[in-house]
Amino acid sequence: MQDVMQEFLKILFASGQKGFELAFFILMPIMVLMMAIMRVLDQQGVLRRVAIYTAPVLLLFGIPGLGVFAIVQILFVSFAAPVSTFRILDQDEGISDRKIAASFAAILCMSQANATLPLAAFGLNLPVTMATSVIGGLVAAFLTYRIFARHLPDSPERSAEEEIGRNQKQQNLIQMILSGGEEGFQLVLKAVPVLVLAVLLVNVLKAIGAIQFMEGLCGPVLSLAGISASSVLSIITKYIAGGTAMMGATLPLLQEHLMSSTDLNRIAGFTINTLDPVGLAVLVSAGKRFSAFAMPAIKGALAGILVRGILHLLIF
């Protein structure tokens, strides 16, 4: 018993060190830089102009003008970033329940920056991942708006200028960069416990032989789709503990060459999204309407994720 405890403590300490290194030497520089850039673009009105120009196209898929902000936030900040936009959507009575469900479906299908940006340093094809995110998100939104949420009330379309207000306090360039960098740093701090636990899970499963067992059990099925057995752990971790945990479980596999960059890109369409227990719990907290219409959004997101997954398998 004492030997088992000593071995577990060794694994625990090694996992803590690895999780800390992942958070502060890989994740932090990326998130601080991206959050600073996003804050500058937001304060300079660039995001608002992009939203106004793209709103007419997105409305065809049932996504209101404000939905552009949520899309930018999920792709370039983190899975939790769209909550602030979702809260505005939830409280705006001029945006229908049907459009709420469509916007929710799109975000559930798309890849989150807190996973894609660190993984890009280890071989994830970022342009393709973002492109398939947009394609899958639009498919999810369209199917939700036209099919899965067609029973919900809709509202007359409004111009993007009417939907997208601007009441932010202006800051100088240095303040923008520092404020964005601080937000990125806070996101990393919140991710540290998840990363440590994810690495601990990987190391424990390796120590008890569970990874080899799961690879032997699920490997033949995955191989039919051209997916390596080494990807089993990433897939299971994703749908149990969320995207950040999946990233934490995948990075050590990539570093130790137990998984190749090709394997990562092939499963990215199915695993890098916010449709998991953690992502759902965070996003439905945005408001009552998002929690009430989660089921139609989930149905649409599943269809969009299927499209994304097939695209990645075809491309890679």
Report whether pLDDT(232) > 80.
yes
Pick 252 or 108 by higher pLDDT: 108
Is 186 within 8 Å of 131 (Cβ atoms)?
no
Averaged pLDDT of the chain? 84
Q: What is the pLDDT of residue 296?
A: 95
What is the total residue count of the chain? 316
Is 137 within 8 Å of 72 (Cβ atoms)?
no
Pick 101 or 169 by higher pLDDT: 101
Report whether pLDDT(14) > 60.
yes
Listed in sequence order, the residues at least 6 apart from 151 whose beta carbon sits closer than 8 Å to its beta carbon are none
Report whether pLDDT(179) > 50.
yes
Report whether pLDDT(55) > 50.
yes
Pick 144 or 12 by higher pLDDT: 144
Q: How large a percentage of the chain has pLDDT more than 90?
A: 29
Average pLDDT over residues 27-49: 76
Report whether pLDDT(303) > 60.
yes
Q: What is the pLDDT of residue 147?
A: 95
Report whether pLDDT(215) > 80.
no
Listed in sequence order, the residues at least 6 apart from 253 whose beta carbon sits closer than 8 Å to its beta carbon are 202, 230, 233, 234, 259
**Between vectors from CA 114 to CA 229 and to CA 235, what angle results, nearest 5°?**
20
